[in-house]
Amino acid sequence: MENSGIKDFKTGTTTVGLIAGESIVLAADMRASFGHIAYDEESKKLYKITDRIGVTNAGSVGDSLAVIRFLRSQARLYEIERDTKITPKAIVTYLSNVLNAHRYYPYSAQFVLGGINKGPEIFELTPYGGILKRDKFAVSGSGTEPAMTTLDQNYRKQMSEEEGIALAIKAVNAGRLRDIYSGGVSVAVMVINNKGIRELSDAEVQKHMPKKGLKP
């Protein structure tokens, strides 16, 4: 069969999520890669689903955004029909069903989803709908190895929210340093707790950035 001329371009990212006390911290690099091209250095990779659930995306931007639209609309419908907040477990089950239903022509995307129910909960989802519940941290993207190594070496139970933010930034920076497909102008950070969701300003992120270059 003759090649159509369409190439599969490598994309990449580094995203992490971790439990810090009663909070979830999600963080991601900001580079969108397209083959060997750093296509965008300020790409968004953290998304609010509800006021207590957020998600990171790795992989195809188009596929990721389509799935995120599904999640937001389903969460809203669920809350209207039941007059109650959707839980992270419920939304992650819905996401698993969406991904699994397309396993023969899969969405080229991987997600880390975190939220608050009775306490903080965090999940990884494979492109085929596999659910992996994590009790410490979750990682996705091409920068997984250096980020996971950083988390393995530094994560501890009952970290404060501020300590969790610093560690999440450190882990993403490890990916930015060692993975050529990760990078961007900074690190994006989202914090989820009983008060809701907030995205850190660049000034807040910079307080935790390494003093010299990208050294983790």
Measured CA to CA, the distance from residue 68 to residue 56 in angstroms comes to 10
Hey, what are 125's tokens?
């989802």
The pair phi, psi for residue 178, each rounded to 5°, is -105, -20
Secondary structure letter of residue 24 according to DSSP: E
Q: Which helix (H) or strand (E) holds 48?
A: strand 46-50
120 DSSP β-pair partners: 116
Residues with catalytic annotation? 13
Indicate left, alpha or beta for 9 from its phi (over 0: left) and psi (-120 to 50: alpha).
Answer: beta
Please name the residues in contact with 139: beta carbons below 8 A apart, sequence gap of 6 or more. Answer: 14, 15, 16, 17, 112, 124, 147, 148, 151, 171
Measured CA to CA, the distance from residue 50 to residue 110 in angstroms comes to 19
Reduced to 3 states, what is the DSSP secondary structure of residue 116?
strand
Please name the residues in contact with 11: beta carbons below 8 A apart, sequence gap of 6 or more. Answer: 32, 33, 34, 59, 60, 61, 142, 181
